[in-house]
Amino acid sequence: MQPFIDFKGKVMPLDRINVDTDQIIPKQFLKRIERTGFGEFLFYDWRFNDDGSTNEEFILNKPEYKNCEILLARDNFGSGSSREHAPWALSDYGFKVILSPSFADIFYNNCFKNGMLPITLPADDINYLFDNAFNKKDYSIEVKLYEELLNDHYGWTANIIIDSYRKKCLIEGLDDIAITLQLLENINKYEDNHRTHLI
């Protein structure tokens, strides 16, 4: 997992509530066993028409929102099934941060495990961000994980609260496997000792 580095990124406003994991990555694309390659299928049923042509009206397909790294969402983002493919698809597409008034718990946890930062903000802040993302060209937000701070160049700032352990994992690029490997010496000692007692 790549370490999370403070950055400034463009904002893409997804103005829909209750976006579930089936909409984020439809079930027919869950056949891959790697974490990569899911970005092209992100929001597939919204991005493409029934005949396979691009839905030019969907926000992700609009040229002004290309290369956005911050996804702005409405309430209850990531609800539905617990599939980890949803954050895989969002990350593979290029999103590093998701801002929402509320997240489904399992999705929220899965984001951290895959190097993405989900941030819960009050409704007033979310509404402010949507207004700017829709009406200001190349609207961007600066994300400072070290300082737990967000800001834009119009004077808006917001403090964010991130669990210290999750913050450390993001900054150091540690997923569950990497965390376990940090204890490899102790694990090997235990295994050696266990084998000795079995002989």
pLDDT by residue for the chain (199 residues), tens only, comes to: 889 999 999 999 999 999 999 999 999 998 877 788 999 999 999 999 999 999 999 999 999 999 999 999 999 999 998 889 999 999 999 999 999 999 999 999 999 999 999 999 999 999 999 999 999 999 999 999 999 999 999 999 999 999 999 999 999 988 766 566 565 666 666 666 766 665 5
Instruction: Classify the phi-psi angles of 52: left when phi > 0, otherwise alpha if psi is within -120 to 50, otherwise beta.
Output: left
- Which domains does the chain show, CATH number per domain? 7-198 (3.20.19.10)
Phi (first) and psi of residue 72, to 5 degrees: -105, 125
Q: Determine the pLDDT at residue 187.
A: 64
Residue 182: the pLDDT is 62
The pLDDT score that the predictor gives to residue 2 is 87
The confidence score (pLDDT) of residue 33 equals 76
Q: What is the pTM of this model?
A: 0.88
* E-state strands within 92-159: 97-100, 117-120, 140-144, 149-151, 157-159
Give the per-residue pLDDT at 120: 98
Q: Return phi, psi of residue 184, to 5°.
A: -60, -40
Give the integer Cα–Cα distance in Å for 154 and 116: 25
- The pLDDT of residue 183 is 59
Question: Which pLDDT tens digit goes with each residue over 97-127?
Answer: 999 999 999 999 999 999 999 999 999 999 9
Neighbouring residues of 75: CB distance < 8 A, sequence distance ≥ 6: 17, 18, 100, 101, 102
* Distance in angstroms (rounded) separating the CA atoms of residues 99 and 75: 10
